[in-house]
Amino acid sequence: MAPMDPHSYADGESPLTSRVALILYLDFATCSLHGSALLTLSAPHSGPLSLDTRSLTIHSAIDPTSLSPIPFSVSQPDPVLGSRLSLSLPAETPLSSILISFSTSSSSALHFLSSPFPYAYTQCHSIHARSLFPCHDTPAARLRFTALLNIPSSLSAVMAARHHARRHPIPSEGGLSCPDSLWCAPGRIVEHFIMDQPIPPYLFAFAVGHIVSRDIGPRTRVYAGPDVVDEAAREFAGTEEMIRAGEKLYGPYGWERFDLLVLPMSFPYAGMENPRMVFLTPTVIKGDPAGAHVVAHELAHSWTGNLITNKTNEDFWLNEGFTTYAERRIVEVVQGEERAALSMGRGWRELNRTVERFRDNMEFTKLKPCMQGIDPDDVYSQIPYEKGFQFLWRIERQVGRPVFDEFTKKYISTFKFQSIDTETFIDFLKANVPGIENQIDLRLWVEGIGIPPDAMEPVSAVYNKIKTLASEFKYGQMSGDDEVVQWNGQEWQLYLENLSSNIDPSQALALDARYRLSESRDWEVKVAFLELAISAGCKEYFAEAERLLKQVGRMRYLRLLYTALAKCSNEGKMLAHRIYAEARNCYHPIAQGVVESILSKHA
């Protein structure tokens, strides 16, 4: 049976899961998870059925109606896919549901923290839901779910789902996963959640900790730790304005709530678009307009990514290219054309930088690369985001914004709550924009490597001025205070990213002496400067890089600074290894894998 997704054991001949009822017991003392999953298939099935797992111990599989055991086996783990859970469903009576009990203490999705207070959170993108519960871990599968989370009563849980109740545990509801002695032990509480809309497994998300909240709009509440929540509420106070801007562009917001959770510093991404509750790193709290761009991006996913989802990770640009385009349209409405142009300028720089990163394997500069045998985390990049944005912007320039806006609305309404591939999008484009294939080389954009010749660098007075100042700095001319006095983090990021990577160490030191960039409260600015300075050979910033890498787990920062240290000198390489050995447990398991890959590459 041929797999339907290069990153899943699911095949096209068996029905996919459509519902799951989860019972989960979080053991903070042992950093382990005990659970059961009642999986409901989209159609009754008999014979073999394959599910995805990773680092799960499967204790039992039964028919929930007859309680008869279902024969199963677990394969040896594949380094990318994890293990196949093979079930043999009875031939004489096709089953619609299966009850599986399991446990894990090494989930690649789940991160337990003990300091400064107990906390646990998940990050399932892109193929890590299988390490939380057995499932068809492919974005082609969309499922509804309920979840009971048994946690310490001193903590609270939030989830990308509707909160139904917080109550005392009930005897026997732990079922096969957890005996009553644990489930109903003193000091435990149950949080009950329901997700009524079908989502792909990578959007399954929860967090547990000392979490408080503030309302900031009619459908938005900010959740965070007590020390962060007020600052976060101020930072994201304009969220409702962005939601309304998104609705004018793309139709009604379809998820009821748009809540925001600010997680601990170890969270590996800037943000994660989990429906109903976006997860955010504290590093996006900046006190200037740039921080809102991350929220705009995750909001845009509510239409492109969550409503319409890429069918496989080979089609990832359908999520991120569309969302990057939609984010900038929302930013343009709320903050103005110049802010959107600066974002586009940073994106153009990132696109060129990413193409250079993959110069030895240009397959991953395609919009639709071949991903067979490739871990998505290993090749995660800005190509789906920025080349995808450029493709859509190219179509907009060809047909005009009003026509493209109508096309986009029709695209969203046609495919909402579906998972589609690139070919489906191209067919829909050609059917609704007749002759577009004669005006734009669609095949070159989708299948070609690198940056197509009809991609375009943005044009903006502010953007062009920043590029000019960066160019002048290369030749020893420092920008005047009057030229940078109005700059926010976004301008400084663009300026630093346009400086040559081979500037002289004295130039880096002079730049910091004047503007104190290494002390910036804006994490993007600080990291951009530290990467530049360390790449220039400034050992003076090793200590600051170490402090940052021991404080923050955002993968973008880890990737930039560990790479800069590993490449700059033997001393830097040794420092990178020592920092990682000391900071490893503070990083999410996905981030650990990224850093280990960098250090191995530069061994």
Write out the binding residues for Zn(2+): 297, 301, 320
- Beta pairing, strands 259-262 & 277-280: parallel
Question: Whole-angstrom Cα distance, residue 148 to residue 403?
Answer: 46
* Structural tokens at position 587: 């990083």
Q: Which DSSP helix (H) or strand (E) runs through 577?
A: helix 570-583
Of the residues 191, 235, 298, 491, only one is catalytic, namely 298
* Structural tokens at position 341: 């142009």
| Length of the chain counted residue by residue | 603
Q: Could you tell me which of 152, 165, 167 has the C-alpha nearest to residue 119?
A: 152
Question: Whole-angstrom Cα distance, residue 272 to residue 228?
Answer: 18
Residues 6+ apart with CB under 8 A from 379: 358, 364, 369, 371
CA distances from 330 to 325, 379, 388 (A): 9, 28, 17
Q: How many distinct helices (H) and strands (E) make up the chain?
A: 20, 21
**CA angle, 115 then 121 then 125, to 5°:** 135
Residue 82 gets which letter from DSSP? B
Q: Which DSSP helix (H) or strand (E) runs through 496?
A: helix 489-497
* Structural tokens at position 578: 């020592």
One-character DSSP codes across 381-434: -SIIIIIHHHHHHHHHHHH-HHHHHHHHHHHHHHHTTEEE-HHHHHHHHHHHST
Phi, psi angles (nearest 5°) of residue 36: -135, 150
How many alpha carbons fall within 13 Å on the CB side of residue 498?
A: 22
The helix/strand/coil state of 474 is helix
* Structural tokens at position 155: 């903590």
Of the residues 25, 269, 385, 495, only one is catalytic, namely 385
Question: Whole-angstrom Cα distance, residue 339 to residue 323?
Answer: 17
CA distances from 303 to 90, 183, 299 (A): 40, 39, 8
Question: Whole-angstrom Cα distance, residue 143 to residue 151?
Answer: 24
Question: Whole-angstrom Cα distance, residue 576 to residue 202?
Answer: 31
Question: Whole-angstrom Cα distance, residue 260 to residue 271?
Answer: 10
| CA end-to-end distance (rounded Å), the chain | 40
The helix/strand/coil state of 290 is helix
Q: Could you tell me which of 142, 110, 138 has the C-alpha nearest to residue 206?
A: 110
* Structural tokens at position 267: 């969270």
Report whether 285 contacts 262 (CB < 8 A).
yes
Would residue 411 show up in a list of annotated catalytic residues for this protein?
A: no
Question: Whole-angstrom Cα distance, residue 415 to residue 163?
Answer: 27
Pick out the residues of the known binding site.
297, 301, 320
Question: Whole-angstrom Cα distance, residue 560 to residue 82?
Answer: 28
Would residue 298 show up in a list of annotated catalytic residues for this protein?
A: yes
Q: Which DSSP helix (H) or strand (E) runs through 349?
A: helix 337-357
Active site residue ranges: 298, 385
